[in-house]
Structure 1
């Protein structure tokens, strides 16, 4: 029996299907590609309307918004386990996006912090639905990781490395931040590891925020389209969240090594299987 079939027997059939679905979610087409398809124009046209000074400012907005979201989003959710409510967060996100579409660049200073808190709240909502204790530092830090994940690569191997490579790149800083929280509670004050983590995540989140801003600035985009773009933005992070927290749920049950081995196995096409997975 080969290694891939041995791996399959470590995860039951339902969990293998869940893992395969998680991989699909984490390897969806990039946000930029979907935004370009929606606006019917390359994002470069919107990017040209985004002043260079604002591109730099978006980085600062991303950092500050993530810091605020870490402190406020969880406070609006009950810690008790319950099913996620993605539709509610999509509705709230589309409302904030309408303002961004109506006011253009000037609206970003309000829209980015608001939408980031809503996205973080939705991420934690999904995490809670997958069995995470959203009152714990580990769950909140895992939620922060979501902002650095998502978007596929040009090949299956590269995409696989993408998800696990990002987690590996953040792992040391996440562990340091978790130790700080274990010693001093969930306060972000005096937490250099958290500051480093947010800086690392914000650098990746900035790219996606810039793409969203460019989509809103494509000629002809107004409030209604701005709401739809924010809906797509929320959907993107909800999908990544479902994938990420499914993987974490399976890791809690089977261990990280077993789940990663199964991830590699379910991702290889098999000609005799109509599902396309081993």
Structure 2
């Protein structure tokens, strides 16, 4: 691998592994993560889960249909500004506003992720690269892994990708053969469920932070900027690695990735 590509891989690893969203939120609001999560009222997880599933189902349509058309490129700053506005609205209405705000915010973020994917050479007219955009919502370091059987020495990024490989392959195969004629098809439901398992954690952390009295609309705006920037960085890392894997092969890139240090 060339020195330039090695540097690209090192940057990608920093984007993917350095700091979880929970740590960023805790630092922003000055409250430990565990305390934040205890602030969520009883029954909140159920409503958050419904909002997450609704948001991801809408994003599935966007990823597999809307991103296939040629749209005018927009900057990451424009997408971030748009999610900041939706965050302010959601923050004003508190937890009940999440059901309205989250699908809009997530869809705007997906468009930003799609632009990043294209910049790294992804062909979003194909189902697998389009679904890789939704995978971004499940990436990043966290206290929980999708793949509980992963080796402790393996990175959170590759462990998560491994856990998503089969459901992504099945969903891509289904879409390639039948399209989105039946959105409730088991292959698509399984894919959404696996992504939602991780994305729901991030949304819960954001929702809990918005319950802090000093937050409100201003807090919702700031948190959505953090939220969007977080997933944009994950997307930059994810698609840089996919670009390198197309160039050098997945085994070589994976091996080098694991050998690189992660700066806290």
User: Match of 2:241?
Assistant: 247
Residues 156-195 of structure 1 aligned to structure 2 (within 5 Å): 158=152, 160-187=154-181, 189=183, 191-195=185-189
CA distance in 2, matches of 1:35, 1:173: 30
TM-score, normalization by structure 1? 0.84
CA distance in 2, matches of 1:75, 1:175: 18
CA RMSD of aligned residues (A): 2.4
How many pairs align? Answer: 257
Q: Name stretches of at least 5 consecutive residues in structure 2 with no aligned partner.
A: 145-150
Label 1:158 to 1:21 Cα distance change in 2 as closer, same or farther (>3 A). farther
Give yes or no for contact 1:81–1:131 (8 Å, CA) kept in 2.
Answer: no
Larger Rg: 1
Deviation of the 1:159 alpha carbon = 7.3
Per mean C-alpha deviation after superposition, the further-off stretch among 77-86 and 41-50 is 77-86
CA distance in 2, matches of 1:54, 1:167: 28
Q: Name stretches of at least 5 consecutive residues in structure 1 with no aligned partner.
A: 1-10, 270-278
CA distance in 2, matches of 1:152, 1:18: 23
User: Match of 2:225?
Assistant: 231
TM-score, normalization by structure 2? 0.89
What SS is found at the alignment partner of 2:213? coil
Label 1:84 to 1:18 Cα distance change in 2 as closer, same or farther (>3 A). farther
Deviation of the 1:192 alpha carbon = 1.4
CA distance in 1, matches of 2:66, 2:202: 25
CA distance in 2, matches of 1:82, 1:103: 32
CA distance in 1, matches of 2:208, 2:142: 20
Q: For each residue in 1:96-132, what CA deviation from the matched residue of structure 2 results, as whole angstroms up to 9, or x when unmatched?
A: 1001111111211111111111111111111111110
CA distance in 1, matches of 2:63, 2:131: 13
Label 1:265 to 1:82 Cα distance change in 2 as closer, same or farther (>3 A). farther
Label 1:74 to 1:62 Cα distance change in 2 as closer, same or farther (>3 A). same
Deviation of the 1:267 alpha carbon = 3.0
User: Match of 1:3?
Assistant: none
